[in-house]
Amino acid sequence: MEGMELIHLNVGGVMYTTTKATLCKYRDSMLGAMFIGSMRSATDQNDCPFIDRDGEMFKYILNFLRSSKLSLPDDFKDFDLLAVEADFYQIQPLIDALSMLRDERQRDDLKTHFFVEVIEVRTGTTATMPSNNSRVKTVLAGRKDVILSLPSELVGEGASEKLQKNEGFDYVELQLNGANVRLRLAETLRNGGWHIVDTNLSSSSSLVTSFTGNTLFIEQSYRDRWRLTLPKIKKLATYM
C-alpha cells in the first residue's frame, strides 16, 4: 500500500520506526517536505534519515502524527522545549494544540495550588552583602488570603490587620521589614510544606559622579516563587 513503507529515522541519536504516511500526514510541514521528496535530508552511518533535533522530544511529535491528539504526562513541564520543536517541524495543528493545553494546565495549576513571590532588592556600593552602605528591601507578593495564612510575626502585625480589613481575594504586595527576611521567609515556607518552583537573579549597575569622585552603585534583585499544593494551606509556624 502506498505510503506504508517503513522508515527508520534517527532524531538526535534516538532511533524511531514509523511509516512514510505517518511522517507525511501534514504535507506542508517540514517532515512532509522531507519525505515527499521536495527537501533533501542528511543520513547517518546506516543510511537512515537523520534530523539533528531533540530525540526525546520527538516521541511526542510522532505520537501526534499517529493520532492527531496531543498526549502528555500529567507532570510534563517542558512546554517551551516542545513548542520549539513543534515550530521547527512546522506542524501547525500541534502548535495550536500545545498552546491550548499549556493555557489549560496553567488555569488548572492556579486552582490546585497557592503561589507567593518573594522579591529582595539590594542597592548600594556593595549590593551582594548587606552593609552600612547598602539598602535591602524585601517584598512579598501573592493572594491576600494566602499571605494572611503566614505568621504575623513575619509579615508584621500592622500589615496583617490592614489586610484583614480589606474584602475579597485581591493580589497584594507587602514590604517586609527586618534583617535577612528572604532567608527567614524561605525557612518558614519550606517547613510549612511549600516548595520553591523558580528563582532568578538580575543585576544592574551605574556610575555616579560626585565631588568625592566616581562611585559604582549596584542593584541586585532576587525573585523566588513558591508553591503550595491544595488543600494543605494552614497557619504556619514561624522560624525566626
Query: Which residues lie closer than 8 Å to 94 by C-beta, 6 or more apart?
Result: 61, 64, 70, 86
Q: Which residues pair with 171 in a beta bridge?
A: 143
Q: What average pLDDT does this structure show over 3-27?
A: 92
pLDDT per residue as tens digits for the range 88-134: 999 999 999 999 998 887 777 666 778 889 999 988 876 555 555 56
Q: Break the chain into its structural domains and give their ranges.
A: 6-90, 112-231
Give this prediction's pTM. Answer: 0.52
pLDDT per residue as tens digits for the range 161-178: 777 666 655 788 888 877
Q: Which pLDDT value is given to residue 233?
A: 44
pLDDT per residue as tens digits for the range 193-210: 889 988 999 988 887 777
Q: Where does the pLDDT of residue 238 fall: very low under 50, low under 70, confident under 90, or very high at 90 and above?
A: very low
- The CATH code of the domain at 6-90 is 3.30.710.10
Q: Which residues pair with 15 in a beta bridge?
A: 10
The closest alpha carbon to 222, from 204, 195, 203, belongs to: 203
Phi, then psi, of 135 in degrees rounded to 5: -115, 140
Whether 31 contacts 89, CB under 8 Å: yes
- Whether residue 144 has pLDDT greater than 90: no
